[in-house]
């Protein structure tokens, strides 16, 4: 949990971005991530089962590497660098905060995921490891009302290989 910004400190709510299209603030996102991380501390070898909650199809995050110089620039602009991102072109994402933006390259399978699922915008935060965490709060356009994948046989590779560690199978 130590790699999330603001641990043990209050967030500067004035600096956090707001967007009426989104129902969740960055602070709420970070709190949700902390809770998620705390749920993943299981011993090696633990097996997990899917309970069909569809959370993995509803919200999602990608970790993107950025170089040291950019990290310095981001910290020079804000104590907790954060803002919005949007998909720009194939394998590229535009990441922005007030008065500053840069382009990021995402892995091919993640690009496919964003394209197929229609998740093309969201929040980002810089974590203390110097990675940009791109968070997408939107449900996948392929998710049906009864929480099924409408393109299950043809779903992206990232959906096929996703390893959920939410529900351990306790013998
Ligand atoms: S893989 Fe995990 S998050 Fe996704 S539906 Fe199953 S239990 Fe829920
Ligand atoms: S494509 Fe299917 S499996 Fe992948 S996020 Fe969307 S609904 Fe879920």
Residue ID of nearest Cα to ligand 1 atom 4 = 56
The pLDDT assigned to 38 comes to 66
The pLDDT assigned to 15 comes to 41
| CB 54 near ligand 1, within 6 Å | yes
| CB 149 near ligand 2, within 6 Å | yes
Query: Quick one: which atom of ligand 2 is closest to the CA of 141?
Result: 6
How much of the chain, in percent, has pLDDT values that exceed 90?
A: 16
Evaluate whether residue 153 is within a structural domain: yes
Evaluate whether residue 49 is within a structural domain: no
Evaluate whether residue 33 is within a structural domain: no
Mean per-residue pLDDT of the chain: 78
- Measuring CA to CA, which residue among 87, 12, 58, 22 is closest to residue 159? 58
Evaluate whether residue 103 is within a structural domain: yes
Q: Are 5 and 80 in contact (CB under 8 A)?
A: yes
Our count of domains for the chain comes to 1
pTM exceeding 0.85: no
| CB 136 near ligand 2, within 6 Å | no
Evaluate whether residue 22 is within a structural domain: no
pLDDT in tens, 53-73: 888 898 888 888 899 999 999
Q: Can you give the residue range of the structural domain that contains 148?
A: 59-166
Name the token pair of 159.
């959906």
Evaluate whether residue 155 is within a structural domain: yes
For residue 33, name the pLDDT band (cuts at 50, 70, 90).
Answer: low
Best of 51, 163, 167 to mutate for ligand 1, by most ligand atoms within 8 A of CB?
A: 51
Evaluate whether residue 35 is within a structural domain: no
Name the token pair of 16.
């956090």
Q: Are 50 and 167 in contact (CB under 8 A)?
A: yes
Chain centre distance of CA 109: 15
pLDDT in tens, 125-140: 887 778 888 888 788 8
The pLDDT assigned to 36 comes to 66
Stretch 72-82: mean pLDDT = 86
Residue ID of nearest Cα to ligand 1 atom 8 = 53
Residue with the larger pLDDT of the pair 40 and 86: 86
Evaluate whether residue 121 is within a structural domain: yes
The pLDDT assigned to 70 comes to 94
The pLDDT assigned to 153 comes to 95
What stretches of the chain adopt beta strand conformation (E)? 60-65, 82-89, 92-97, 100-105, 121-126, 131-136
How much of the chain, in percent, has pLDDT values that exceed 70?
A: 77
pLDDT in tens, 100-111: 899 998 888 888
* Distance from Cα 91 to the centre of ligand 1, integer Å: 26
Residue 3 CA to residue 153 CA, distance in Å, equals: 36
* Distance from Cα 120 to the centre of ligand 2, integer Å: 14
């Amino acid at each position: 949990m130590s790699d999330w910004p603001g641990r043990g400190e209050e967030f500067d709510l004035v600096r956090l971005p707001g967007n009426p299209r989104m129902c969740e603030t960055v602070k709420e996102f970070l709190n949700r991530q902390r809770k998620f991380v705390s749920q993943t501390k299981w011993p090696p070898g633990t097996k997990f089962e899917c309970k069909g909650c569809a959370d993995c199809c509803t919200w999602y995050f990608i970790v993107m590497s950025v170089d040291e110089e950019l990290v310095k620039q981001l910290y020079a602009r804000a104590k907790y660098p954060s803002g919005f991102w949007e998909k720009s072109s194939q394998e590229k994402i535009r990441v922005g905060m007030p008065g500053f933006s840069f382009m990021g390259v995402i892995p091919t399978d993640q690009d496919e995921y964003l394209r197929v699922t229609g998740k093309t915008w969201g929040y980002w935060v810089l974590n203390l490891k110097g990675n940009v965490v791109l968070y997408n709060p939107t449900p996948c356009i392929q998710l049906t009302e009864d929480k099924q994948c409408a393109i299950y046989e043809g779903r992206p590779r990232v959906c096929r290989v996703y390893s959920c560690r939410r529900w351990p199978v306790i013998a």
